[in-house]
Homo-oligomer: A and B are copies of this chain.
Amino acid sequence: MTTRVIQRCRDLAAISDSDRSISRIYLSPAYLQGLQQTEEWMLQAGMETWIDAVGNVWGRYACKDPQAPTLILGSHLDTVPNAGMFDGILGVMVAIEAVDRLKEQAIELPFHIEVVGLGDEEGVRFDASMLGSRALIGKWEDELLELTDQNAKSLESALEACGLNPQDYASASRVNDNLLGFWEVHMEQGPVLEAEDIPISVVSAIAGARRFKVTIEGQAGHAGTVPMGLRQDALTAASEVVLMIEKTAQQNNNLLATVGHLKVFPSAVNVIPGWVEFTVDIRSDDDALRERVMNLIFHSSEAISMSRGVEIYWSEYHWAPAKQCAPRFRQIFEESIAQQKIHVRTLVSGAGHDAMTVAEITDIGMLFVRCRGGISHHPDEYVSAEDAEIAVNTLVLALEKLAES
């Protein structure tokens, strides 16, 4: 019953830190309850379960050979505040359902399967994202435990409050294990599959990203007294930069660029803006392309600065290279989709995902499930029962094909 996937997403949505919206922030009471509920479902699917030192929940469906490698399936269980019910969670529920299917059909595999519900992907609480998958790849350090939330509660004490042993975070690492790979099913969070009427797609890569804070320093002035020709308006300069970035991105496939945050100072109806700050987020699965485009953007920004007599400062605060999905996993996914007579579509993931982190220690594979309106991080998130069923079927077929390969 694949409607069970949707039902479980709904059941988890009801476990919330807030009465009025879906919210399961890492290590909150609702988060812990969601973890235990998920562990329960793993047990029902015949898995051996545990919660690791950083609050990830694991279920192991072992094969006969103790020496066999392990394929990890999963995604994250935490949510943003006022979330929808599928982002992250869908991937964990689909994975549990696939294992249930294997068990019911008594399918034996030459590798162990472990399903993981990761603790923190959204990074809402401690201003650091992907804490769950970072523990999995052995990238926690003592300093991380000192991170604090907005109530000045440290990560260390938040973990302790959940009955976990923070000092033991290294035990959550899977670096030294014999891993076959990590597969993540995730809702698309974008509008492409819906627009093309396709229920599922293979992901070829997770885009790398750079993020900048840009400040433009012009000259504030009186809106009634400074002639147009004598202005150094920081907002008209910013507008030119914003449009230049949009145009440059539009001229390059496989590239997204967004100015999401922008603030004007002093921001009064009759004062020419003297100062504007905004952010730039630029993503591509092609790192070299992204660097070339950034150089074009820097160059054009310089020209705008010169022609308008304003200062434009760029300061980078995030940089991550693209991560490719393993070709053999892509091929297996493509075959599994084609076998269901579904058009094989491949997408780049522009959004960051746990798989991006896990890619540092093992091969990754990803599947995207169609969602409605491209909406995510919002109560309106929607994935149909039919599409969730297709995701489970694809996963089961892919596991069988991997077993044969």
User: Known interface pairs A228-B250, A236-B243. Does A261 touch B256 (Cβ–Cβ under 8 Å)?
Assistant: no
B262-A268 in contact (CB<8A) = no
B350-A224 in contact (CB<8A) = yes
B272-A374 in contact (CB<8A) = no
B236-A207 in contact (CB<8A) = no
Binding-face segment, A111-119, A166-174, A183-191: A183-191
B222-A190 in contact (CB<8A) = yes
Q: CB within 8 A of A258: which of B190, B230, B272, B351?
A: B272
B264-A262 in contact (CB<8A) = yes
Contacts of A230 in B (CB 8 A): 191-192, 195, 374
What are the interface flags for A228-246 relative to B under an 8 Å C-beta threshold, 1 for contact and 0 otherwise?
1110010110111011001
In the complex, whether A223 has a CB less than 8 A from a CB of chain B is: yes
Q: How far is the CA of A226 from the CA of B223 in the complex (A)?
A: 37
Q: How far is the CA of A273 from the CA of B229 in the complex (A)?
A: 30
User: Known interface pairs A188-B225, A224-B351. Does A211 touch B262 (Cβ–Cβ under 8 Å)?
Assistant: no
Q: CB within 8 A of A223: which of B233, B242, B281?
A: B281
A242-B235 in contact (CB<8A) = yes
Q: CB within 8 A of A349: which of B224, B264, B268, B283?
A: B224
A224-B256 in contact (CB<8A) = yes
Contacts of A224 in B (CB 8 A): 189-190, 207, 209, 256, 281, 283, 349-352
A190-B227 in contact (CB<8A) = yes
Q: How far is the CA of A238 from the CA of B259 in the complex (A)?
A: 12
B267-A271 in contact (CB<8A) = no
Contacts of A374 in B (CB 8 A): 221-222, 225-226, 230
In the complex, whether A1 has a CB less than 8 A from a CB of chain B is: no
Q: How far is the CA of A50 from the CA of B310 in the complex (A)?
A: 50
What are the interface flags for A266-292 relative to B under an 8 Å C-beta threshold, 1 for contact and 0 otherwise?
011111110000010101000000000
A262-B261 in contact (CB<8A) = no
A261-B250 in contact (CB<8A) = no
What are the interface flags for A376-396 relative to B under an 8 Å C-beta threshold, 1 for contact and 0 otherwise?
110000000000000000000
A249-B262 in contact (CB<8A) = no
Q: How far is the CA of A273 from the CA of B239 in the complex (A)?
A: 14
Q: Which residue of B lies closest to A318 (CB)?
A: B269
B351-A225 in contact (CB<8A) = yes
In the complex, whether A66 has a CB less than 8 A from a CB of chain B is: no
A204 to chain B, nearest CB (A): 14
A352 to chain B, nearest CB (A): 7
What are the interface flags for A199-232 relative to B under an 8 Å C-beta threshold, 1 for contact and 0 otherwise?
0000000010101000000000111111111100
